[in-house]
Structure 1
Amino acid sequence: MKPTAGRSQTGMFTASEVEVQTGVPATTLRQWERRYGFPHPVRNASGYRLYSPGDVAAIQYMQSQLQSGVPAGRAAELTVQATRPSSSPAEVPVAAPPPAQPEGRGVARWSALLTDALLASDTDRAGAVLAGVHAHLPVEDVMTGVISPTMVEIGARWERGEITIAHEHQATAYLRSRLSALMDVAGVQGGCGPLVVAACAPEEQHELGLMMLTLALRRRGVRVAYLGANVPLGDLAVYARQREARAVLLALNGTWALDATRAHLRDLDGLGMPLFYGGALLNAEPILAQELGGQYAGPDAPSAAQQIAAALLGSPAIPPHPSGGSA
C-alpha cells in the first residue's frame, strides 16, 4: 500500500506538530520541499505551512528509507514514486476548491455550515466545509470552535424533536470518522512520551469529546492508549497497570455514567497514578472529580490537554502556535 493511500490531503498540521510526530526537524522539512519537491504543505491565512496526513505519511516513509541506510537522494526518489497517483492525469479527479471563509459571525458560521451539511446527510459538503475551515484555522480551533458547537447543536435539535436519532447517529458517525483519522496521524502509541490511558466511564457511550482530547494530547507529545466507550473500571485499572501508564483519563458526559462509576469506583483503589476526569458532566460540576478520587482536567480539549501534559512532562507544556505554528 502506498504511504498516502487513504490519507486526507487537507493541510492541518503545523511544522512543529509534524516534527513531534515524525522526529524530522522543521528545517529539514523545508529542505526536502526545496530539494526534492515534497512534502506539499499549503499556507494558512497567517502564512504558516500546514501539512496534510498524506504529507505526514510521505515524511514517515522517507524516514524509514533513511533509517534503512538508503541514501537521501534515492530515498527521496522512492518516496516520490510511492506517493505519485496511480491514475493517469485524465483520470485523476479534480477536487472542488474549499469554500472561502464565510463572512459574518466568524467561526460560528463554519459550525452552522457543517451542521446544515450533516443534517442534510451531505457528507461531501461536510467534507468541503471542514477542508475550508482547516485552511483557515489551527486544528484545535477547528475542534473547539466548529466541531464541538456542531455536536451541541445537533444534540439540542434532537432533544427538541426537530431531528430523529438517525440523523444524530449519522452525524456522530461522520465526525467520529474524521476525528479518528486525525488521531491516527497525530501520533501513535509507540513514541517516547508518557502514556495516558483514556476511556469513557461505564455506561458512557458519547466519545467524541474524549477523542478530541486524545488528539490534543498526542499533538503535545503525550502517548495515549484510547479505549473508547463504556469501559468497566476494573478492566481499565488492569490495562493501565499492565501498560505501565503514567495517568488515566476518564470521561463522563451525563448522570447515566455517574451512577455506574460510583458503583464500581473501588475498582480503581490503589491505581497508583493520577486520575483525570473530563466531559460535559464534569464541566457542569467540576467538584465531582474530587469526589470521585481524581482531578478535573479542564473545560475543553486544548486546556485539558495543556494541564495533563504539564503534569506529566514536569514543566509547562508549550501549546500549538495560535496562528498555526512555525512557518
Structure 2
Amino acid sequence: MTDTSSHPADTPLYPIREVSRLTGVNSVTLRAWERRYGLIRPQRTPKGHRLYAREDIERVERILQWLNRGVPVSQVKDLLDQPEAASAPEPASDDWQSQRRQLTAAVETLDLGRLETLFNQSLALYPVSTCLAELWQPAVRELEEHWDDQLGAHLQRLSLEAFLRTRIGTRLYHANQVSLGPTLLVTPLPEDPGPLWLLLAALAASDAGYRVQLFDGPLPFAELPLAVERLKASALLLASGRAERADLIRRQLPRLAEQLEVPLALCGPVARIRESELSDSGVALLGDDLPQAVARLRPLLRDG
C-alpha cells in the first residue's frame, strides 16, 4: 500500500479530482475506500489535500476489477496483494443479494431511514454503474413484478419514486454545475406508470459525464423537437418500464426520429420488449441495462 515514503521526490502526483476523472470513481467513493477500508493511502499536502501516485491509480483500477467481478468492497483488501490468478471469494454474490433483499424490504415496509442508508452507502462505496447493475435495477425489476397484484403497491411505488426523485435530482443538480459533457434530454414515454427507470437512466447518464436535463413527466411528442432545440441537447433519451402502445412504437417514434436533428434513443424494459419492431427504424435501441445503454449512446453523438 502506498505511503508518503514510498515514492521518489520526482514521482508525478495527481489531485483527487484528476484521479476521479481518470478512473471514473467519484471523490466521495475514493475517500470512503481510504477511510473505511484502507484500500488506498494517498500522500497529503501540508494543507491536507490528497495526492495520488500512478501506483495509487493502478490500485484503484484493480479495486474496480474486483468489484466488477462481484466482490464486496469489504473483501477487496485481502485480494489486492494476492497473485493475479486469485479467484473471487464465493460469498461475494451473497453480499449483493443481501443488499437487494434489504432494499426491497425497506420499500415494502416504507422504511425510509433504511432506504436512505442503503442509497448513500451503496453510492459511497461502489461506482454508480455497479450499484445500478447489481442493486437498483434488479431490485426495481423484482418490486415491479410484485406490484402487479400486491396490496399497497401504489403507495410503495410512489414512496420510492419520491425518494429517488429527491436524491437523484440533487445529484444531477450538482453534477450539472461542473459537467462539460454534452447535454442529454431525458424524458419518459406516456404509458410508463412512474419515473423509476427514467431516474435510474438519468443517474447513469450523469455518471457518464452528460449534462442531464430531466423531465420526469412525458412531454407531447410535438414539443420534443422544440425542447431539444431550446435546451441545445445533443440527444434525446426516452425511457419506460412498460411495452407502450403499438401505434406509438411503430409509427410515432420512427416519425419523431426523422424530425429530430439529433439521435433519438430508447432505454429501459421497453427497448428490450419492442426491439424487433424498431430494429429497422431510426430509433437507437440501447437496451435495459442502463450503464450499458448510456455507453452505447456515446458513439451515436456527432461529437462522440
TM-score of the two chains, using structure 1 as the length reference: 0.61
Aligned partner of 2:4 in structure 1 is none
Which residue, out of 219, 228, 232, partners 1:231? 219
Which residue, out of 209, 214, 217, partners 2:202? 214
Aligned partner of 2:172 in structure 1 is 183
Q: 1:36 to 1:168 in 2, by over 3 A?
A: same
Aligned partner of 1:165 in structure 2 is 154
Which residue, out of 47, 54, 62, partners 1:36? 47
In structure 2, the gaps of 5 or more residues are 1-16, 31-40, 51-57, 62-73, 76-90
Distance 2:257 2:130 in 1: 34
CA shift digits 1:83-133 (9 cap, x unpaired): xxxxxxxxxxxxxxxxx7997612121111111122221111222223333
3-state SS, counterpart of residue 161 of structure 2:
helix
Which residue, out of 235, 240, 252, partners 1:247? 235
Deviation at 1:306, TM superposition (A): 0.9
Aligned partner of 1:299 in structure 2 is 288
Kept in 2, the 8 Å contact 1:277–1:289? The answer is no
Distance 2:239 2:281 in 1: 12
Count residues with an aligned counterpart.
243
Amino acid at match of 1:134: L
Higher RCO (C-alpha under 8 Å, 6+ residues apart): 1
Q: 1:231 to 1:241 in 2, by over 3 A?
A: same
Identity %: 22
Which residue, out of 110, 116, 121, partners 1:121? 110
Structure with greater helix percent: 2
Which residue, out of 16, 20, 39, partners 2:20? 16
Which residue, out of 133, 137, 143, partners 1:148? 137
Kept in 2, the 8 Å contact 1:298–1:307? The answer is no
3-state SS, counterpart of residue 228 of structure 1:
coil
CA shift digits 1:38-72 (9 cap, x unpaired): 68xxxxxx9759xxxxxxxxxxxxxxxxxxxxxxx
Distance 2:232 2:47 in 1: 41
Amino acid at match of 2:184: V
Deviation at 1:14, TM superposition (A): 9.3
3-state SS, counterpart of residue 261 of structure 2:
coil
Deviation at 1:212, TM superposition (A): 2.2
Kept in 2, the 8 Å contact 1:253–1:280? The answer is yes
Q: 1:215 to 1:14 in 2, by over 3 A?
A: farther
Q: 1:241 to 1:17 in 2, by over 3 A?
A: same
Deviation at 1:260, TM superposition (A): 4.2
Q: 1:169 to 1:209 in 2, by over 3 A?
A: same
Kept in 2, the 8 Å contact 1:111–1:150? The answer is yes
Aligned partner of 1:112 in structure 2 is 101
Q: 1:21 to 1:240 in 2, by over 3 A?
A: farther
Distance 1:271 1:143 in 2: 30
3-state SS, counterpart of residue 245 of structure 1:
coil
Q: 1:171 to 1:221 in 2, by over 3 A?
A: closer
